[in-house]
């Protein structure tokens, strides 16, 4: 069943996606790897796909996890920031 969630982009993901947040409609339940793939394909983040943290409603998402998404869930896409 598809749900519409909110994707939040940080650091380089924000730059590549060209926005800081977006609504995204996606099937649920969904495996972590499929979720990453859908997001990086949709928002031109392929270069970052092995270098980011995903958080669902501010909680770390495990790479083996199957996620049950609800409408308006927040998924944060967080690559590391290294400047200082």
Binding site for other proteins (CB under 8 A): 10-12, 14-16, 20, 47-48, 50-51, 53, 55, 58-60, 62, 76, 78-84
Q: CB of 49: closest distance to other proteins in angstroms?
A: 10
Strand-pairing partners, residue 28, are none
Our CB check for other proteins shows the closer of 4 and 20 to be: 20
Q: Which of 53, 9, 1 is nearest to 32 (CA)?
A: 53
Q: CA 13 to CA 66: how far, in whole Å?
A: 23
Our CB check for other proteins shows the closer of 25 and 58 to be: 58
């Amino acid at each position: 069943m598809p749900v519409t969630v909110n994707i939040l982009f940080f650091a380089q993901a924000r730059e590549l996606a060209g926005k800081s947040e977006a609504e995204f409609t996606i099937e649920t339940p969904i495996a972590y790897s499929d979720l990453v793939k859908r997001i990086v394909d949709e928002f031109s983040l392929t270069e970052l796909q092995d270098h980011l943290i995903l958080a669902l409603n501010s909680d770390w998402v495990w790479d083996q996890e199957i996620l049950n998404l609800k409408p308006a869930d927040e998924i944060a896409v967080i690559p590391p920031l290294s400047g200082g």
